[in-house]
Every structure is written in structure tokens, then in C-alpha cells.
Amino acid sequence: MKAAKAAVNLLPPEVRPARRLPWRRLALGFAAVAAVAGLAGLGWSLHAARRAAADEVASLRREEARLEAELAAVRELPRTRASLEEKRRFVRETGETRQVWRLLQALAEAAPAGVIVSDLTLDEEDAAVVEGTAPGLAAVAAFMRHLEGTGLFRRPQVVFPAPFSEAGGRQVIPFRITATVVRGG
């Protein structure tokens, strides 16, 4: 069997609470420090969250500005397309005009002396019809050879639409030459 111990406190009753007081103060001090540290941590956490939110807002504003610029570019697309279509039409017309000028220049250079070109007709299928008069068959043949030699006309064929005649003592031969135009030639 165990013996029961009796606890006897020989200190006066007013000393006992005074001995417990430093431990209570220490516990309250630790609690206060913990509370201050907790509040500081909470403040730092809130500050970091606020900074992250501000960075996110700045990022969203940059994205909004980029999207606004892209939207403005998209809104400009119809005008840009119209402008490009106009430029394409101009280039096509200018190219066709240059082609006609090259054909006219080739006709002028290919015509032998005495050959008069009175009409040039071009159609959408790249066919050319050259009409005029010549002083003789040799001039018409030379004109056809020269046309083919320019590289702008392929397979020229001649037709004599009217009978030969004389004007001022000279023979006049009306002719019509059809040929295929070589594009970009």
C-alpha cells in the first residue's frame, strides 16, 4: 500500500498569488507578442494580396489596350480592303494600259514603209485584230513576219476583206490580221 502524502504549504496566503504572477505576465507577454506577430503577418498578407491585385489590374489594362488596338485594326479592315481593291484595280488597269502601249509600239515598229494601220481591236480572250492597208502583198507578208517577231503576237493570219484597188496610180490592199496577244510579252 501506498502512503498518502499530505501537502502542506507553509507560505502565507498572500505570497502564493504573487509567485504565480510572473508566469502569468510572461504568458500574457507571449500572447501579446503572438497577437502583434499575427497582426503583422495579416497586414503583410493583405499588402501582398493588394499588390497582386494591383498587378493583375495593370495586366488587364494592358490587355484591354492591346485588344482595343486590335479591335481598331479590325474595324479598319473594310477600309483597308477597299483601298487594296482600288490599288489592285489601278495596277490591273495600268498593266493593261502598258500592254496596249507595248502593242501599239510593236505595231508601229513592225509596219514596213507604206503600211497604214487604221484599227486595233483587243478582246477579253487575248485576240487582236489589226486592220489597215498596204501597197502590196509583200508589205503585208513582211508586216505579219515582223508582228510575230515582236514576241507580242502569236500565229498571225491575214484576211483580205475587200478587193484590191488603186489610188493615185498605186495599188492599195486592205487587210485584216488576227493574232493571239502574248500577255506580259
pLDDT of amino acid 153: 86
- What is the pLDDT of the chain when averaged over all its residues? 82
Region 72-88 average pLDDT? 80
> Looking at 70-84, 92-106, 156-170, which range is the least confident one?
92-106
User: Following DSSP, what letter does each residue of the chain receive, concatenated?
Assistant: -PPPP-----S-TTHHHHHHHHHHHHHHHHHHHHHHHHHHHHHHHHHHHHHHHHHHHHHHHHHHHHHHHHHHHHHHHHHHHHHHHHHHHHHHHHHHHHHHHHHHHHHHHHPPTT-EEEEEEE-TTSEEEEEEEESSHHHHHHHHHHHHHTTSEEEEEEE--S--EEETTEEEEEEEEEEEE-TT-
Region 83-93 average pLDDT? 73
Long-range contacts of 88-95 (CB under 8 A, 24+ apart): none
Q: What is the pLDDT of residues 172-181, one digit of tens each?
A: 889 999 998 8
Q: What is the pLDDT of residues 113-130, one digit of tens each?
A: 888 888 888 887 778 899
